[in-house]
C-alpha cells in the first residue's frame, strides 16, 4: 500500500482566517511536520491551492505558505472546492502508484472534505489527520471528524505519523 500526503489550501489568506478548533498556524505547523515525515520516508507530498478563475489579480496571500513547497513535491492549482476536478490529480497519483491518501489542510468541511469525497469516488483508501485540519467553526470540524470522515476512512492524529 503506497500512501501520499495531500495538503489542501495552506495559503496565508486562509491560514489567517478565524478557524476552530485549531488556528491556521497550528494546522500549518502540524502539516509541515507531516510533510517532513512523508518526504523522509520517500512518500509523495501533494500540495494543492485554490486559484479563482477569471480573476487577473489574486488576493494577497494566495500562494502557498512560505517554505512549504519542497523540490520533488507535487504541486497543483485547483479552480473548484475539491482537488480532483480539472487538475490531473488522479493521473499523477496513479503514476506514483498511490492507493491511500492521507488528508490534511484547510478547511475541514470545504477543501478537505470535498477532495476526500472525490478521492473515495476514485477508489482511494483514506486517512484523515484530524488535528492537522481545522474548520470555519469548531462544531463543523468536530462533526466531520466524528461522523462524516469515519464513513470514508480512518481518522487519526499527527501522533500516529511520528
DSSP string, 93-155: HHHTT--EEEEEEE-IIIIIHHHHHHHHHTT-EEEEEEEEEEBSSHHHHHHIIIIIGGGTSEE
Residue 92 sits in a domain of what CATH number? Answer: 3.40.50.850
How many CB atoms are closer than 10 A to CB 54?
5
pLDDT in tens, 18-73: 999 999 999 999 999 999 999 999 999 999 999 866 655 566 778 999 999 999 99
Residues 6+ apart with CB under 8 A from 51: 58, 62, 77, 78, 79
C-alpha 42/C-alpha 72 separation (Å) is 10
- From 34, 26, 68, select the one nearest 49 (Cα to Cα): 68
Query: Does position 110 have pLDDT exceeding 90, yes or no?
Result: yes
Cell of 135: 474548520
- Residue 100's pLDDT is 98
- Predicted TM-score (pTM) above 0.75: yes
For residue 94, what pLDDT is reported? 97
| Domain extent at residue 152 | 3-54+62-161
pLDDT in tens, 65-101: 999 999 999 999 999 999 999 999 999 999 999 999 9
CB 138 within 8 Å of CB 18? no
User: What pLDDT is stored for residue 41 in this prediction?
Assistant: 96
Report the pLDDT value the prediction gives residue 60, as an integer from 0 to 100. Answer: 78
Q: Give the pLDDT confidence score for residue 61 in this predicted structure.
A: 74
How many domains would you assign to the chain?
A: 1
Provide the pLDDT for residue 51.
86
Report, as an integer, the average pLDDT of 126-143. 98
Amino acid at each position: 500500500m503506497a500512501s501520499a500526503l495531500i495538503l489542501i489550501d495552506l495559503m496565508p489568506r486562509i491560514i489567517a482566517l478565524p478557524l476552530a478548533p485549531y488556528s491556521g498556524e497550528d494546522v500549518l505547523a502540524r502539516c509541515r511536520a507531516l510533510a517532513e515525515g512523508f518526504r523522509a520516508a520517500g512518500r509523495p507530498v501533494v500540495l494543492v491551492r485554490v486559484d479563482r478563475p477569471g480573476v487577473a489579480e489574486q488576493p494577497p496571500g494566495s500562494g502557498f505558505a512560505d517554505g512549504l513547497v519542497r523540490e520533488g513535491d507535487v504541486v497543483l492549482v485547483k479552480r473548484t472546492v475539491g482537488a480532483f476536478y480539472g487538475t490531473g490529480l488522479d493521473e499523477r497519483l496513479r503514476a506514483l502508484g498511490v492507493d491511500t491518501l492521507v488528508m490534511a489542510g484547510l478547511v475541514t468541511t470545504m477543501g478537505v472534505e470535498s477532495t476526500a469525497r472525490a478521492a473515495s469516488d476514485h477508489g482511494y483508501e483514506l486517512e484523515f489527520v484530524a488535528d492537522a485540519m481545522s474548520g470555519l467553526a469548531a462544531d463543523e470540524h468536530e462533526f466531520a471528524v466524528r461522523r462524516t470522515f469515519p464513513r470514508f476512512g480512518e481518522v487519526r492524529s499527527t501522533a500516529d505519523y511520528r
